[in-house]
Amino acid sequence: MPVTVVLKRVNLEFYIDVHAHSTMLNGFMYGNVFEEEERVQRQAVFPRLLCQNAPDFSLSSTSFNRDVVKAGTGRRFLGGLLDDSSYCYTLEVSFYSYMTAGSTAAVPYTEETYMKLGRNVARTFLDYYKLNPLIKDVRPTHIQSSVVMSQTDSGNGKTNTGDREKTDSEKERKSQGIRH
């Protein structure tokens, strides 16, 4: 009796393969190269946000390439299979140490600082879905409906986020070089 396999289409927005790097400092990413300018801009958003959240992440060491040597990596392989709403990265993190902006001394990575980078990656996903003007309501429902709680208005339970939230979002976008 023949076996029928039914493939279910999965909407995968991100694939991040994490590796340790033996020669470079800091954390940095590799990403794929695309022809469409909008997709190039959308792919650059996550590394830019991560650079804002993680002092040990180097945007200047991040690169987008199509190297033949990297053709068999998860990032390149899946990048060729998935649709244009998916982004595939390799997050490389130094085996040894990192340098923060303005510093000349390398700081050794520890278990705690690796964990902190992981938490900063998680924060970056939150920022990506909350602040990214290039994402058009594809955010998970629980993030779309969440409201940043601030002081309540005289204890009446109403949140007071209006103008402050809008101003903060505009400042974030400008500081990250994100185009509207």
Tens-place pLDDT, residues 23-60: 999 999 999 888 888 888 888 999 999 999 999 999 99
- Active-site amino acid positions: 92
More confidently predicted of 156 and 78: 78
Burial group, residue 71, by CB count within 10 angstroms (0-12, 13-18, 19+): exposed
91-148 residue pLDDT tens: 999 999 999 888 889 999 999 999 999 999 999 999 998 865 655 555 455 444 444 3
> What is 14-153+164-175's CATH number, 3.40.630.10, 3.40.50.20, 3.40.50.2020, 3.30.365.10?
3.40.630.10
Summarised one tens digit per residue, pLDDT across range 9-20 is 667 889 999 999
Distance (Å) of CA 171 to CA 59, 68, 168, 180: 19, 39, 5, 13
What residue has token string 């500081």?
A: 175
The Cα–Cα gap between 176 and 162 comes to 22
pTM over 0.75: no
Residue 16 near residue 50, CB atoms below 8 Å? no
